[in-house]
Amino acid sequence: MDATTPQPRPCWIAGHPEQGTQAITVSHPYDGTEVASVAVPGPDQVERAVAAAAAVAKEFRRTPAHVRAEALLQVSRALAERAEEVAETITAENGKPLKWANTEVTRAVATFRFAAEEARRFTGDLQRLDTDVTGEGRLALVRRVPRGPVLAVAPFNFPLNLVAHKVAPALAVGAPVVVKPASATPLSALLLGELLAETDLPEGAFSVLPVRGGDMKNLVADERLPVISFTGSTSVGWSLTDAAPRKHMLMELGSNSAAIVCPDWPDLDRAATRIATFGNYQAGQSCIAVQRVLVHRDVAEEFVPKLVAAVRALRTGDPHDPEVEVGPLIDEDNARRVEEWVAEAVDGGARLHVGGGRSGASVEPTVVQDVPATAKLWREEVFGPVLAVSVVESLDEAFEQANATDYGLQAGVFTRDVAVAFRAAAELEVGGVIIGDVPSYRADQMPYGGVKGSGTGREGVRSAMEDFTEERTMVLTDITL
């Protein structure tokens, strides 16, 4: 490297910026242009990051709550101040339309603010033990303490806020965190490292390591990182569980979300618009994106054309255009896969209403109907801008089809009938049911996660704090209550 060549953006080793032993190039998914070069730490740097996290763990968990809360609030404010720059970074590395990148920054600001608030009130519990004669005069103090340093493995689709979902709760409870961002989208995590470095957090409280291959495997296996929080594909998630069976694993994995349109729903235009938007808003690359649309026959003839029109009206193109709603997929390989899945479904008898084409990494927003139950487009997580419509004869059939998947993250049910709403919540095999809307956002302040193949963890700030900690009980004797 000569003197005129800019250095790669540094990684963060125990809170300090360092150049690595290698570099990776981050390319724009929309047109393939180079966005930045990023330093990849070598094995010695990775070792120093983990060793620092382990060394500071006991000290950090005893840090006063107000110190941790202030650091988190400082990051929240800094993100808000640099919101435009951060959103442009997300769009450049991820291809996410700028309007959704701005939303992601806003959510990350809130995530750190929520974590700051929770850090001040995450206190534990008191439990009286004199409910039995043998417990008279006894009182239990139940506290939650960090399990240890956290390895946070983040995905590409929310390169800032899904890092925030791991980093903010870990720091809130006093657990050091080692971040492994997605190789395709490390820039947002590195920028977050820059903001964390401006706080008074102790050395070793955080590192950001854009590693690959053997170094990633070593991090997963390292006993000094007893907690792994992973968000990403189902296959990778379960492989991590197999590789570290004795660790505390928190997995938020795949989905195949369904939206059910019931015959009593009065506003079919709204249902069509919401499903079209949030089935495609990040080119479908969201675990909560609607993929399957189950519409009752009584309203199907009116609803399906409305849905097709709403999808056709979505603005596509350059994600830096603030009016664009659907941008490219993360790379051309994934776009080609989605194109092939649509073609397979159509060859199997599905009817193509709109879309189906591809240009580079961009796939046209697509609606297909009557997809065979054996097709990948129906069974698997498409992670692309595709909606598969099925007309059902009854709610029983709708619930049966919604449950006929290996994933169970979220579902949306368009109904005004309270009895149907409670029945859906009871019968749908998912982690969350949204009545009168579609799965469209992660509520940072509430438990978020799924069942079946959708993972084992919860990503809301408070629930993540609980996952990163364990209960410890002290019993006081000779207490007068």
Q: What are the Cα distances from residue 399, in Å, to 91, 261, 264, 290, 413?
A: 37, 11, 16, 15, 10
The C-alpha atoms of residue 84 and residue 105 are separated, in whole angstroms, by 9
The two tokens of residue 412 are 């949306």
Q: What are the Cα distances from residue 67, in Å, to 39, 118, 201, 208, 333?
A: 31, 13, 8, 21, 45
The two tokens of residue 279 are 């089935």
Q: The tokens 């189950």 sit on which residue?
A: 294
* 287 has catalytic annotation: yes
From 93, 118, 252, 381, the catalytic residue: 252
Backbone angles phi, psi at 418, to 5 degrees: -60, -35
From 287, 339, 364, 381, the catalytic residue: 287
Asked if 313 and 279 count as a contact pair (C-beta separation under 8 A), the reply is no
DSSP 350-372: PEEEE---EETTEE--EEEES--
Q: What is the dihedral of CA 403, 405, 411, 417, to 10 degrees?
A: -20
51 alpha carbon, distance to own chain's centre: 28
The C-alpha atoms of residue 383 and residue 280 are separated, in whole angstroms, by 10
* 11 has catalytic annotation: no
Q: What are the Cα distances from residue 433, in Å, to 74, 271, 307, 345, 421?
A: 34, 15, 21, 28, 9
Contacts of 286 (CB under 8 A, 6+ apart): 157, 158
As separate numbers, helices (DSSP H) first and strands (DSSP E) second, the chain gives 15, 23
Catalytic residues: 252, 287
